[in-house]
Amino acid sequence: LRASDDTGMPTLLDTYGATNAAEFFAVATEAFFERPRALRRLHRKLYDEMQRFFRQDPALYSSEHLAGHGEELA
């Protein structure tokens, strides 16, 4: 995240998550519930950890899944 923030590269996770551990968790949680399929595709290990933590798989019922899109970053 820090490298993306410094270079301006687009990223699924908001670069504010590089501020500290609490903000990273908040940003990762937001992506987990709002863009689960993209998070799973781009950051599989993080997705798997979030899935274990929250004990659910939002990729199965997300609007991304239902609409059949949402794999892009933007």
pLDDT tens digits for range 29-45: 999 999 999 999 999 99
Greater confidence (21 vs 62) lies with: 21
The full set of domain ranges for the chain reads: 2-67
Beta-carbon contacts of 37 under 8 Å, excluding residues fewer than 6 positions away, are: 59, 62, 64, 65, 70, 71
pLDDT at residue 74 in the model: 38
Residue-averaged pLDDT of the chain: 83
Work out the pLDDT band at 48, boundaries 50, 70, 90. very high
Work out the pLDDT band at 73, boundaries 50, 70, 90. very low
